[in-house]
Structure 1
Amino acid sequence: MSIDPVRQTMTGDLTGLNFAILDRLSNESKRRRHLKDQEAAGVDPKARPRTGMDINNRDEQVTDCRQYVESRGGRIVHIYDEEHTSAYKRRKIRQSDGSVIYRVIRPVYAAMLRDLAKGKAPNGERLDGAICPDLDRLTRDNRDLEDSIDTVVHHHRPIIDLSGALDLNTQNGQTNARVITAFKNAQSADTGRRVGRKHKALQREGIPTGGHRPFGWQDDKRTLHPVEAPLLRTAVAEILNGRAVTAVAADWNRRGIPTARGKLWRAVNLKAVLRNPRMAGYRMVTIANADEDNGETLSRHVITLKDEDGNPVMGQWERMISPADWDKLIAIIGETPQRGDGNNTRSHLATGTLRCGKGDCDTPLRATKAPPSAHKPEGFFWYTCLSKGQGGCGGVKVNGWETDEALMWLAIEMYQEQAAEREASAEPEPWQREGELTMVREDMAAAKAARKAGKITAERYYADLAEQEAAERALLKEKNATIKAAQVAADVPVTLEEDWTGGNLSLTEQRVYLERAFSAVIVAPTNGRRGVPTHHRLTPVPAQRG
């Protein structure tokens, strides 16, 4: 029997037709957070839904569309699933000639139209048409709608919805779809503006937001947690006195102290908590760094929200530590990740620190387990240079156990020498340029007031602002360096030797101390000599200290 997809869809008879389903949700962030919280609470994901958040709306769309098609004699051969995809938000795209255009990015939707044009589903079966719950799920962008119209008109493969009102094959139907899409697009724009105004108001008033509670505060995000807050304050005091963030995270994991979501701590997560302006009582705002070519978010960071006068906006919650202590903390842990601060999965102490010292090779050494033929003790290994085929020279090999022990003593001795130097030195002078920083900020506030009053032009205002902000950044950098020096930034406790030699430090903690002591350790070749002590072959390169 011959089939005519367009005619059959007009009559509602889908007998013998193969359809694909397009389901889509614009934003699934809330449900994803809910599922993570459920997982942390040990709730079985297959259990009967207890709230609306437990229901996957995309599954509901698929169920409704499948019933519609199958009840009319058709069959479903594929599902195009667009999870967490906006049909409205446009992203920047850089053209080959360097120009920029803005388009809605929907790879799944585009793939569906290509398959419809070819008449073949991804599984190889014939594809006669597509169904979506309604026009709103198909598109909210008129450019995308025109692509759908072209596919239907030129390839005679219909796109229908559950209401039966979607008709892209006739001029009247196309016109109706264009009008509805334009209204939906305007509706999305209006919603975006309302949401934006709401969030600005929340920020301005210092009202806490967010999907889950921050570590250290209770569920209301305002009151300090009776157990976690003291832990966090103690950790801050320890870090200000020289303890590594990674050491704190490892200690909390050993003691069974989980994150606010019930997970294990990593240094990067703990530093994110410590860097959050909420610690000092400031209202924060998240800034997204996007790829200039495609608009994709590369990273996010949290900064302090400022009011019109350039002053920090205070949040409506109990602060964890004073602003002065938070400034000192940021000066020590920095505003960006540093080498050795992350969750290091390497299983040997010196991997990533040792480098080949033969000629100008400088290749990082790797740990190599001794084979049975070497007749070495269980667990014995060497640090070796990569072969020439792998980018090294293959000319350096050193006993792993002896190297780790030598590096331990090198690090301990270096920290002890630094501690002695600090004790012998005079108390560092306080920062002397606080007045200059205050004047710069007063100039910025005055310029903003003059601009609002119409006394200076926009060109003059922004030119002056760029210079003032540059001066403020330079002064703050110098101030933080002075604070860091005043805090001494002692990277180790006084019991380091006892802790390390006594086996009280985890490998992660040992690696942090080593990597903060030395940026690299050069391993010299033996040049054919026998019996050269391992520690004589090691040349440490001290890490630069801010």
Structure 2
Amino acid sequence: MDNDLVQRARWGDLAGQNWAGLVRLSFEVDEGPGTGESDATGTTEAKAAFRPMTGRDIRSRDEQEKDNRSFVESRGGRYVFTYEEPDTSAWKRKRVRLPNGEIGYRVIRPVFEGALEDLKRGTAPNGERLDGLIVYDIDRLTRDNRHLEDAIEVVENFKRPIIDITGTLDLLTDNGRTVARIVTATANKQSADTARRVTRKHRALQQAGIPTGGVRPFGWKEDKRTLNPEEAEWLRKIVHWLLEGKPISAIIRKLNDAGVTTSTGRKWSHPGLKAVVRNPRLCGYRSRQVIDIDPVTGTENKRVEIVLDAEGKPVIGQWESVVSVEEWEAVTEMLGPNPEPGLGHNTRKYLLRGTLRCDRDGCGAPLRVRKAEKSRNKPEGYFYYTCPSSGSVPSGCGGTKIGGPETDKAVSMMVIAKHQEETAKRQAEPEPMTWDKEEELTRVNEDIGDLKQARKARIITAETYFTQLAELEAEKRRLRNERNRILRSKHTAERAPVDLAKTWNDLLLSEQRAYVEDLLLAVLVAPAVGRGRPVRERLTPMWRPKGEQAEASSQDGSE
């Protein structure tokens, strides 16, 4: 039968044949209301610009299937299966990695591609024999010429007919295939023209500072213009806490403990809170989301940028702001515009895990936590900081052990005293309120960009690339941490200094760790010598140089 399937389909004779239908609900460009403004929910222009058009210009899923079935059965065939493509665009391309490793853009339609493969094999997903594929019209089949050629290949080379009901699709003859190519190219152009109009419309809305579709942003009412007083006050607190150096994990704990939820009623998370704080909407600027492609890895990096007017000035949004531009810029500089690689929020359960190191000659291994055995009759939850043995990873000498609670208390007293000392110095000798290394940071960023381009062009080896990248990234972090320290000093100068001695026991563990890592590089723990030696005498603090202070806490706060 295979040899005459195409010829019989041309005559309208489907007797004895098994057919499947492809039902696609359009997900093409919609010129209705959309959004060009980024928000914490991930809503973007693209998502708003492409939406189902069912009920306006195409037949519904049930209608398409009914028409397909009726057409096949009226000509003597059996309708055995329906391929469904809900909310699928036959035109919009997505970024993919090609078989040769390069990055390309393709229309992604796994159901359509699966249907063609089934048709080649002659077997439907339900096990029935499959002789042909029917669609309502050519628009339901494809608007992409590459996919059209795949369909033509099935008809020409595998002798499996693909037809439509309306008569606009004819892949069964040479002339019909030529017309189909023209019709598909025209449909593709129509989609591109509509997309261009939608893009122009969203740009006009952006330039006017008009808030558009998407989920209600936290801090504003449903009109996206008027402040929600309670949520706006929480936003101000969040910004001030970050400027004071409070880690983001502690802020999330405070929000969740207070029962404060996102605008969608969910608990706060690190990505969600950072997206809210980084959004220029807080200070009244209109923004949009931009996707950059890394030239080396090919990965997508999303970022939010401020919309600029014709004169290059930020567009002011038509809504009430929450914080000043200066405060928003400061907190954004401290967090960084995007996540830094390798920095995660602190999930450790012990205050000094990662800070204590063995002071025995030739060791220097970081101490681990080990709970006390019941035979030692210690209080519930008592633990030790111990040097790992030589056979473990990381390797240590195994000869140093110190009581955990006593060490935590001793180091806490050191940190409190050091913090008060540094606070007194800052009050007596205020930090400079300007930073004159912006050009140096700009050059480092340019060097990183040049390095990536060189690697993409295969001018340098992977080893050279990653070695130089690590050095440049380290220099970038150093400069940013220096700038963040000055910004923090500037925005906390007018506030009363924190009395750490009074507030220490009320802080969350993550907040206490932020102070420890802000001030200390490490604490060396000497082996015990004799009984009764005070814990304090075994500890040697290695204080972080003044220029590096705030680095650890800013990192913990940024991720």
* TM exceeding 0.5: yes
Does 2:327 match 1:315?
no
- Alignment partner for residue 327 of structure 2, among 300, 303, 325? 325
Q: Quick one: distance in 2 between partners of 1:365 and 1:133?
A: 69
Does 2:183 match 1:183?
no
Superposed, 1:519-534 pairs within 5 Å as 521=522, 526=527
Q: Deviations over 1:405-450 (max 9, x none)?
A: 555445434433322322332x34443979x99xxxxxxxxxxxxx
Q: Indicate how the Cα distance of structure 1 residues 222 and 66 shifts in structure 2: closer, same or farther if over 3 A, else same.
A: same
2:423–2:497 Cα contact (<8 Å) kept: no
Q: Deviations over 1:237-270 (max 9, x none)?
A: 4444554444333222211111112122234433
TM-score (norm 1): 0.69
Q: Quick one: distance in 1 between partners of 2:244 and 2:20?
A: 66
Q: Indicate how the Cα distance of structure 1 residues 125 and 510 shifts in structure 2: closer, same or farther if over 3 A, else same.
A: farther
Tell me which residue corresponds to 2:447: none
Superposed, 1:4-403 pairs within 5 Å as 6=6, 9=9, 11=12, 13=14, 17=18, 19=20, 21=22, 23=24, 26=27, 63-64=62-63, 66-68=65-67, 72=73, 74=78, 76=80, 79=83, 81=85, 87-89=91-93, 91=95, 103-106=106-109, 109-120=112-123, 126-161=129-164, 163=166, 165-292=168-295, 298-337=300-339, 344-350=346-352, 379=381, 392-393=394-395, 395=397, 401=405
Q: Quick one: distance in 2 between partners of 1:125 and 1:384?
A: 67
Please report how far the alpha carbon of residue 181 of structure 1 lies from its aligned counterpart in structure 2 after TM superposition: 0.8
Q: Quick one: distance in 1 between partners of 2:23 and 2:351?
A: 52
Q: Quick one: distance in 1 between partners of 2:482 and 2:332?
A: 13
Please report how far the alpha carbon of residue 16 of structure 1 lies from its aligned counterpart in structure 2 after TM superposition: 5.6
Q: Indicate how the Cα distance of structure 1 residues 194 and 54 shifts in structure 2: closer, same or farther if over 3 A, else same.
A: closer
1:244–1:492 Cα contact (<8 Å) kept: no
Superposed, 1:422-441 pairs within 5 Å as 422-425=426-429, 427-431=430-434
Q: Quick one: distance in 2 between partners of 1:356 and 1:172?
A: 82
Q: Deviations over 1:288-338 (max 9, x none)?
A: 122447966x23222222223332222222222222333343344443446
**Amino acid in structure 1 at the alignment position of 2:324:** S
Size of the aligned set, in residue pairs, is 483
Q: Quick one: distance in 2 between partners of 1:359 and 1:116?
A: 73
SS of the aligned residue for 1:189 comes to helix
Q: Quick one: distance in 2 between partners of 1:369 and 1:122?
A: 57
Tell me: higher relative CO, structure 1 or 2? Use CA pairs within 8 A at least 6 residues apart: 2
1:244–1:491 Cα contact (<8 Å) kept: no
2:291–2:302 Cα contact (<8 Å) kept: yes
Q: Deviations over 1:483-511 (max 9, x none)?
A: 4442358999725444442xx33444444
1:167–1:174 Cα contact (<8 Å) kept: yes
Q: Indicate how the Cα distance of structure 1 residues 391 and 478 shifts in structure 2: closer, same or farther if over 3 A, else same.
A: closer
Q: Indicate how the Cα distance of structure 1 residues 32 and 303 shifts in structure 2: closer, same or farther if over 3 A, else same.
A: closer
SS of the aligned residue for 1:285 comes to strand
**Amino acid in structure 2 at the alignment position of 1:545:** A
Q: Which runs of 5+ in 1 are unaligned?
A: 34-38, 40-51, 438-474
Q: Quick one: distance in 1 between partners of 2:414 and 2:431?
A: 27
Greater shift, 231-240 or 275-284, is seen at: 231-240
Q: Quick one: distance in 1 between partners of 2:495 and 2:397?
A: 34
Q: Indicate how the Cα distance of structure 1 residues 140 and 200 shifts in structure 2: closer, same or farther if over 3 A, else same.
A: same
Q: Which runs of 5+ in 2 are unaligned?
A: 36-40, 42-50, 440-478, 552-559
Please report how far the alpha carbon of residue 211 of structure 1 lies from its aligned counterpart in structure 2 after TM superposition: 0.5
Does 2:405 match 1:416?
no
Q: Quick one: distance in 2 between partners of 1:136 and 1:348?
A: 61
SS of the aligned residue for 2:229 comes to coil
Q: Deviations over 1:210-255 (max 9, x none)?
A: 4022211221111222222233234434444554444333222211
Q: Indicate how the Cα distance of structure 1 residues 517 and 129 shifts in structure 2: closer, same or farther if over 3 A, else same.
A: farther
Q: Quick one: distance in 1 between partners of 2:54 and 2:364?
A: 56
Q: Indicate how the Cα distance of structure 1 residues 137 and 54 shifts in structure 2: closer, same or farther if over 3 A, else same.
A: closer
**Amino acid in structure 1 at the alignment position of 2:229:** P
Greater shift, 250-259 or 64-73, is seen at: 64-73
Please report how far the alpha carbon of residue 115 of structure 1 lies from its aligned counterpart in structure 2 after TM superposition: 4.0
Please report how far the alpha carbon of residue 355 of structure 1 lies from its aligned counterpart in structure 2 after TM superposition: 6.8
TM-score (norm 2): 0.67
Q: Indicate how the Cα distance of structure 1 residues 432 and 383 shifts in structure 2: closer, same or farther if over 3 A, else same.
A: closer
Q: Quick one: distance in 2 between partners of 1:395 and 1:162?
A: 80
Q: Quick one: distance in 1 between partners of 2:130 and 2:392?
A: 49
Tell me which residue corresponds to 2:550: 545
Percent of pairs with identical residues: 39
Please report how far the alpha carbon of residue 182 of structure 1 lies from its aligned counterpart in structure 2 after TM superposition: 0.8
SS of the aligned residue for 1:185 comes to helix
Q: Indicate how the Cα distance of structure 1 residues 351 and 527 shifts in structure 2: closer, same or farther if over 3 A, else same.
A: closer
- Alignment partner for residue 505 of structure 1, among 504, 507, 520? 507
2:485–2:550 Cα contact (<8 Å) kept: no
Q: Quick one: distance in 1 between partners of 2:483 and 2:146?
A: 52
Q: Indicate how the Cα distance of structure 1 residues 354 and 61 shifts in structure 2: closer, same or farther if over 3 A, else same.
A: farther
Q: Indicate how the Cα distance of structure 1 residues 268 and 513 shifts in structure 2: closer, same or farther if over 3 A, else same.
A: farther
Q: Quick one: distance in 2 between partners of 1:182 and 1:363?
A: 66
SS of the aligned residue for 1:259 comes to coil
SS of the aligned residue for 1:289 comes to strand
Please report how far the alpha carbon of residue 77 of structure 1 lies from its aligned counterpart in structure 2 after TM superposition: 5.3
Tell me which residue corresponds to 1:448: none
Q: Quick one: distance in 1 between partners of 2:67 and 2:368?
A: 61
**Amino acid in structure 1 at the alignment position of 2:267:** L
**Amino acid in structure 2 at the alignment position of 1:319:** S
